[in-house]
């Protein structure tokens, strides 16, 4: 059964034992487990959707916003996409054993720097069941075991999905405890998971600032935060108006409840009166509630734009709401982004190469786009097959957390009897 009835410590210990075996597993065995996972996802789609329907109908999900319910909801198409994502990961090169450097020392020792798994990765995440499969696929291929602690809102869905992967591991001759699901426990369980020193090698929380603060208060294991995304689109003075409209709307509306959706639109004062009404009209027509500063409201024309508060500039709405400001220069746009952004994904729309270079150099974020939507910050889009999350930290990984971000390295030294004098 995927959802364990053992303690957190026992679950982590089981994952640690499995990690040792998985670390030396062949690429063929790991790929076989992934291929079986993809097949079982397709074969068990009805059972998975039935479990998901139970989660959606549960009273615990009754108070979720529509954006969060969309995160929780599975469809046959989304399950098929999970299976395809698993096959993409299987087709990628195995990072384990990759030689990063090699040299012969003065002593004659042959020194190699090679990529190795981290060990046990624990992931705490919100009501997105697809994360269960994405995380499991990436950790299996990178030779790591994983302890999954999903939201209680998605407990049935996550259990059904984790059971599929555990069955696939066993069929491929790998330890099924390489994937362990804790279900959706309380904060005490979260604190216990965050203090499993010697068992958990890396904890990755995916969620908002509340989860981040809760982990920071208690964690004694290494933590890499897949943090919030307060992302911006800046329409520069030399932006193509039609391009600006397409990018702004896509960045906000294509899927508004995700961390790489834009939450703030910045418009250069030089084009605010000419470009602003059309962009704002497109956003409003797509159902976006707009709030803005005085200058943004003044150029909105017939589009309703409420007054933005100080809190709006720092908000990750995760829904159909957007803040709008007019700025006087690239420098002011950069300053606004760096003051209010979370270091996730930022975009400039411009035909001016110098302005683009100034923006990309000046903005402190994991991903910076020129003439493209922020919605591309994604492991699948980046050719990683999937991702565990997007790190806004600078150590040890930044941006989408894929297979290589789930590895470290070791030095392997070969001699022929050398001793140090």
Are 193 and 235 within one domain?
no
Are 62 and 209 within one domain?
yes
Check residue 257 and give its pLDDT: 84
State the average pLDDT over residues 152-159: 94
In 3-state terms the chain splits into helix, strand, coil percentages (rounded to 5) of: 45, 20, 35
Q: Does 86 fall in a domain?
A: yes
Q: Does 420 fall in a domain?
A: no
Q: Does 3 fall in a domain?
A: no
Are 273 and 308 within one domain?
yes
The rounded mean pLDDT for the chain is 94
Looking only at the bridges linking them, the beta strands covering 390-391 and 321-327 are unpaired
Compute and round to an integer the Cα radius of gyration of the chain. 23
pLDDT tens figures, 181-216: 997 667 788 999 999 999 999 999 987 778 888 999
| Domain with 36 in it | 8-226+388-414
Looking only at the bridges linking them, the beta strands covering 407-414 and 110-117 are antiparallel
Taking the C-alpha atoms of residue 321 and residue 319, their distance in angstroms, rounded to an integer, is: 6
pLDDT tens figures, 243-283: 999 999 999 999 998 899 999 999 999 999 999 999 999 99
Taking the C-alpha atoms of residue 6 and residue 19, their distance in angstroms, rounded to an integer, is: 18
Position 67 pLDDT exceeds 80:
no
pLDDT tens figures, 18-53: 999 999 999 999 999 999 999 999 999 999 999 999
Number of structural domains (the chain) is 2
Check residue 5 and give its pLDDT: 62
State the average pLDDT over residues 97-120: 98
Q: Does 392 fall in a domain?
A: yes
Check residue 137 and give its pLDDT: 97
Are 135 and 49 within one domain?
yes
Taking the C-alpha atoms of residue 272 and residue 278, their distance in angstroms, rounded to an integer, is: 10
Percent of the chain exceeding pLDDT 90 equals: 84
Are 235 and 222 within one domain?
no
Are 264 and 134 within one domain?
no
pLDDT tens figures, 388-398: 989 988 888 99
State the average pLDDT over residues 359-387: 94
Confidence of residue 117 (pLDDT cuts 50, 70, 90): very high
Check residue 4 and give its pLDDT: 41
Q: Does 1 fall in a domain?
A: no
CATH number where 81 lies = 3.40.605.10
Q: Does 419 fall in a domain?
A: no
């Amino acid at each position: 059964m995927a959802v364990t009835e053992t303690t957190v410590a026992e679950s982590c210990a089981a994952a640690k034992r499995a990690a040792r075996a998985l670390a030396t597993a062949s690429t063929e065995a790991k790929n076989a487990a992934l291929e079986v996972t993809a097949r079982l996802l397709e074969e068990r789609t009805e059972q998975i959707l039935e479990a998901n329907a139970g989660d959606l109908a549960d009273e615990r999900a009754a108070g979720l916003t529509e954006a969060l319910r969309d995160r929780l909801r599975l469809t046959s198409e989304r399950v098929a996409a999970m299976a395809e994502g698993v096959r993409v990961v299987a087709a990628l090169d195995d990072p384990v054993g990759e030689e990063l450097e090699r040299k012969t020392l003065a002593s004659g020792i042959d020194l190699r720097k090679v990529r190795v798994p981290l060990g046990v990765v624990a992931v705490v995440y919100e009501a997105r069941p697809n994360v269960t499969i994405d995380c499991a696929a990436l950790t299996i291929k990178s030779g790591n075991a994983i302890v999954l602690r999903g939201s209680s809102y998605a407990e049935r869905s996550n259990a059904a999905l984790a059971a599929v992967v555990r069955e696939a591991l066993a069929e491929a001759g790998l330890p099924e405890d390489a994937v362990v699901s804790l279900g959706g426990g309380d904060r005490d369980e979260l604190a216990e998971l965050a203090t499993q020193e010697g068992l958990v090698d890396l904890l990755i929380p995916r969620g908002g600032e509340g989860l981040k603060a809760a982990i920071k208060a208690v964690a004694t294991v290494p933590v890499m935060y897949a943090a919030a995304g307060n992302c911006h689109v800046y329409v520069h003075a030399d932006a193509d108006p039609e391009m600006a409209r397409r990018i702004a709307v896509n960045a906000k509306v294509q899927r508004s409840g995700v961390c790489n959706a834009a939450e703030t639109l910045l418009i250069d004062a030089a084009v605010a009166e000419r470009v602003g009404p059309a962009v704002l009209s497109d956003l409003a027509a797509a159902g976006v509630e707009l709030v803005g500063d005085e200058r943004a409201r003044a150029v909105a024309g017939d589009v309703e734009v409420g007054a933005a508060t100080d809190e709006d500039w720092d908000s990750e709405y995760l829904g159909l709401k957007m803040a709008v400001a007019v700025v006087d220069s690239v420098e002011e746009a950069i300053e606004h982004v760096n003051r209010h952004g979370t270091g996730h994904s930022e975009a400039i729309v411009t035909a001016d190469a110098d302005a683009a270079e100034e923006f990309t150099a000046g903005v402190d974020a994991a991903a910076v786009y020129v003439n493209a939507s922020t919605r591309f910050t994604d492991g699948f889009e980046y050719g990683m097959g999937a991702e565990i999350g997007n790190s806004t930290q600078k150590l040890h990984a930044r941006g989408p957390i894929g297979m290589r971000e789930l590895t470290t390295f070791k030095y392997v030294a070969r001699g022929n009897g050398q001793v140090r004098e």
